[in-house]
A and B are shown apart, each in its own frame.
Chain A
Amino acid sequence: MGLAKWFKTSFPVDNEALVEMSSEPIPNHLKKWWWALGGTPLYMFIVQVITGLLLVFYYEPNVEEAYNSISRITNELPYGWLIRSIHKWSANIMIASVILHMMRVFFTQTYRKPRELNWMFGVTLFLLTLIFGFSGYSLIYEQMSYWAMKVGTEIAGATPFIGDWMASFIKGGEDIGQHTLTRMHIFHVMILPLAMVALIGLHVYLIRALGVSDLRFKDEERVEKKTFPFWPDHATTELVMVALIMFVLIALALLFPVHMGERANPNVTPIHIKPEWYFYPVFRWLKLTNLFWGVLGPMIFIGILYLWPFIDRFFEKIAPKKDLAFWIGVIGSLILTGFFFWEIVGH
């Protein structure tokens, strides 16, 4: 018995099912580049898993050694700086592409029936991505990351009703310390990745089960064929996209490698303090409002995001064909972008 045959009997694969599964017809508009935005966070996540696994070999999750171990990765280990830089830039691209993907879904209104639930899975993925960023940043235990962790846990603590419980759950005690770092570490390398894989699975399953929304654009009206097969056509587009992103990612990591900040000092907040860019709008908002609204505002925002497909349906009922969703989206994006730039230039 030949090896191929042996393998076939030991590991039976239904070829026809495979072909059928992979040649799923895809609407033409997916040739437009912004439909590849959903794929980008997925590739970035894979990059994160690989680089993250490498980093975990040397990172030491304890308050005395965390900073030293990262310094060692950055300055001493072969290619350590590169692996760290790719992990960092890939995180940034992941977050940016999740935001853009979300805007694409929002403005094409493809969260509408029957995709409400998948939109909600999507919002959860967005939050997971942000928590990924937050917990990863905390691990460095440098000044900025220490104080980000401090402010972050205090925000959780100021949540109405469950605040105290949440804060002590995150901190693992009354103050930030070893327990907090341990928790951030476990979340970052264990719980969040598992949750992410599970949710991406659900997200992609629903995309397949419900199909990608069939939209018609003006320039497509005269085209006869309305779909093209996933394999090999769309897969090729995606692969080109992957190559492109990889190129950008490596260029960014080479041109702007990460550095070490100052070691964490629990007694001195740096006089110029900023969170990572994706928290700029929240940070500006906290400066503008009192504690109550400062904390409640972002939570209400998240609540609206979750319920948006239903809010949109309601708007469509009371004011049909007025494009309320579109204008709310435009105004919301403008406000957030405004806060973002205000935080860049202001202090």
Chain B
Amino acid sequence: MKRKEFFSSLFAFVPLVLGFLGISKISVDFLNPETGNAKIRKIFAISLEDINIGESRNMTDLKGKEFLLIRTGEKKVKALSTTCTHLGCTVYWQQDKNRFYCPCHQGVFNPDGEVVSGPPPKKLNSYDTEIIGNNVYIYLKDKEA
């Protein structure tokens, strides 16, 4: 290749490739904006006077997703996510079998949320809780801005 041809193709292709890379980067960033910068909020959930030991309540987090609040002891509560850890379906509480059951791929969890059988890889998630006096607070992720 002659020197002149080499340089003219260099000037033609380098900007083309750089331009292509630049546009790709811009498009990908545009389509994938930062998420997950939502604040964690501490929110009053219930007073211990309104829930007996062993009882549970259906509650809704700040994104509208339901979860279970269970009072497990005198000064102990547990906030269990009902979203299956396998592929995100909602589990059912089955009173007669004393278990959580996921209809999607037949995952089974015990009342503590631990996996009993089926494909789920880990126990059900739980939300952090705090009891101050008689008041139960839950730490919930806010909606994204």
Chain A residues with a Cβ under 8 A of chain B: 147, 150-151, 153-155, 158, 165, 168-169, 172-175, 266-273, 283, 286-292, 294
B3 interface hit (Cβ, 8 Å)? no
Q: Name the CB-closest residue of B to A286.
A: B105
Contacts of B144 in A (CB 8 A): 173-174
Is B119 a contact of A151 with CB atoms below 8 Å?
Answer: no
In the complex, chain B residues whose CB is within 8 Å of the CB of A291 = 86-87, 119-121
The 19 listed contacts between A and B (C-beta, < 8 Å) are A151-B88, A154-B86, A168-B35, A169-B32, A173-B144, A267-B64, A268-B90, A269-B89, A269-B91, A270-B103, A273-B89, A273-B104, A283-B105, A286-B105, A287-B118, A289-B119, A290-B119, A291-B119, A291-B120
Tell me whether B65 is interfacial, beta carbon within 8 Å: yes
A150-B87, A151-B89, A173-B144 given; A287·B36 CB < 8 A: no
Chain B stretch 36-94: residues in CB contact (< 8 A) with chain A: 36, 38, 63-66, 86-92
In the complex, A289 Cα to B106 Cα: how many Å?
11
Query: B residues within 8 A CB of A289?
Result: 119
Complexed CA–CA distance, A124 and B77 (Å): 51
Determine the chain B residues whose CB is within 8 A of the CB of A286 once the complex forms.
86-87, 105, 119
Q: Tell whether B31 is near chain A: CB-to-CB under 8 Å.
A: yes
- How many Å lie between the Cα of A18 and that of B92 in the bound state? 65
CB contacts (< 8 Å) of A271 on chain B: these are 92, 103
Instruction: Bin the interface of chain B by size.
Output: 20 to 34
B residues with a Cβ closer than 8 A to A are: 31-32, 35-36, 38, 63-66, 86-92, 102-106, 118-121, 144
CB-based contact B89/A150 at 8 Å: yes
- Give the distance in Å from the alpha carbon of A283 to the alpha carbon of B105 in the complex: 8
Q: A151-B89, A151-B104, A286-B87 are in contact. Are A266 and B65 (CB under 8 A)?
A: yes
Residues of A within 8 A of B36 (CB): 174
Q: Are B86 and A147 interface neighbours, CB within 8 A?
A: no
A169 touches B31 (CB 8 A): yes
Closest Cβ neighbor of B118 among chain A residues: A287
Query: 6 closest pairs, A vs B, by CB?
Result: A154-B87, A269-B89, A287-B105, A269-B90, A154-B88, A291-B121
